[in-house]
């Protein structure tokens, strides 16, 4: 009889502990879920506030502090882009606003446009806006302003090949990049000019050229500023039949597909 009582007691204890454990797990899960949902709401609210702020700043006079404001907004953009937790909740919709604002403040800010153009086309999904902004920026830039300015024409050509399918404009962009590359007057400029003209040749022979597309993705890969962009570029290159080799020193070598 005593044995039955003990077994009953132990069974009740087990059920109690089991119930407590289930309640704890459910409560823990619910708390995390509610916290995540609240965070999501907070991220969305912050995105909306930031959007309103950027829209307002586009209308404000600069009082001659254009370069300072451009630098400040660029730092704000880097912080915005680098907040991966928030971006997973809200996306990258404000990249275009930063791009517009910075280009308004300082159309000569070449280094910023390398990152902004890639982020706007790949993450914000606005390649047509990227090309439109570059078309406004490029008349204000020359090889004399920056020895790397030629890359902006290449970035424009990349968008026109990969995302817009505007091959005729892409050929013009790459030809222009070759001109600016040669204007540097150094060996690096000659190499870049040769590659740009090679891409033009690919496009002239085949508007759907896989080699031209791989070359475009190779540009994205070699100038990527984050791992996610690099992964996207590598996947695209391999899908097109190209090969990517990264040595122990981090040097990247891309082999074009054998067949176009």
In angstroms, what CA-CA distances link 5 with 14, 16, 17, 19, 117?
Answer: 14, 16, 18, 21, 75
Spatial CA neighbour of 92 closest among 135, 127, 122, 134: 122
Averaged pLDDT for residues 64-91: 92
Domain of residue 90: give its range. 63-255
pLDDT band at 24 (very low <50, low <70, confident <90, very high): very low
Per-residue pLDDT at 104 exceeds 90: yes
Per-residue pLDDT at 15 exceeds 60: no
In a domain, 226, yes or no: yes
In a domain, 49, yes or no: no
In a domain, 41, yes or no: no
More confident residue, 216 or 21: 216
Q: What are phi and psi of 243, to 5 degrees?
A: -125, 145
CA angle 188, 169, 111 (to 5 degrees): 45
In a domain, 243, yes or no: yes
pLDDT band at 4 (very low <50, low <70, confident <90, very high): low
d(CA 183, CA 145): 12
Q: List CB contacts of 146: < 8 A, sequence separation 6 or more.
A: 108, 110, 111
181-220, pLDDT tens digit by residue? 999 999 999 999 999 999 999 999 999 999 999 999 999 9
pTM of the prediction? 0.80
In a domain, 43, yes or no: no
Residue 253: strand pairing partners = 245
d(CA 259, CA 252): 21
Number of domains present in the structure of the chain? 1
pLDDT band at 170 (very low <50, low <70, confident <90, very high): very high
d(CA 59, CA 134): 21
In a domain, 25, yes or no: no
Burial class (CB in 10 A: 0-12, 13-18, 19+), 36: exposed
Q: What percentage of residues in the chain have a pLDDT greater than 70?
A: 84
In a domain, 227, yes or no: yes
Helix segments in the chain, DSSP class H: 2-57, 66-82, 84-90, 95-105, 110-118, 127-137, 150-159, 167-183, 187-205, 210-223, 227-239
Residue 260 is predicted with a pLDDT of: 85
Averaged pLDDT for residues 149-159: 96
54-71, pLDDT tens digit by residue? 898 888 888 889 999 999
């Amino acid at each position: 009889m005593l044995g039955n009582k003990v077994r009953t007691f132990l069974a009740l204890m087990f059920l109690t502990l089991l119930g407590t454990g289930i309640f704890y797990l459910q409560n823990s899960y619910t708390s995390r879920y509610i916290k995540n949902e609240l965070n999501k709401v907070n991220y969305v609210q912050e995105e909306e506030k930031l959007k309103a702020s950027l829209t307002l700043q586009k209308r404000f006079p600069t009082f001659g502090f254009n370069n300072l404001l451009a630098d400040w907004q660029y730092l704000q953009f880097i912080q915005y882009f680098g907040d991966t937790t928030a971006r997973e909740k809200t996306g990258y919709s404000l990249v275009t606003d930063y791009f517009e604002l910075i280009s308004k403040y300082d159309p000569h800010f070449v280094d910023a446009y390398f990152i902004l153009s890639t982020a706007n086309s790949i993450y914000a999904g606005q390649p047509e806006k990227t090309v439109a902004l570059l078309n406004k920026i490029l008349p204000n830039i020359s090889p004399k302003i920056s020895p790397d300015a030629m890359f902006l024409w290449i970035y424009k050509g990349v968008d026109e090949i990969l995302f817009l399918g505007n091959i005729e404009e892409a050929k013009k962009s790459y030809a222009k990049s070759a001109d600016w590359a040669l204007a540097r007057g150094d060996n690096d400029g000659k190499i870049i000019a040769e590659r740009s003209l090679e891409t033009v040749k690919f496009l002239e022979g085949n508007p759907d050229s896989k080699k031209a597309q791989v070359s475009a993705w190779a540009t994205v890969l070699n100038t990527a500023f984050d791992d996610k962009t690099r992964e996207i570029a590598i996947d695209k290159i391999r899908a097109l039949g190209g090969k990517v080799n990264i040595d122990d020193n981090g040097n990247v070598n891309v082999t074009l597909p054998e067949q176009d």
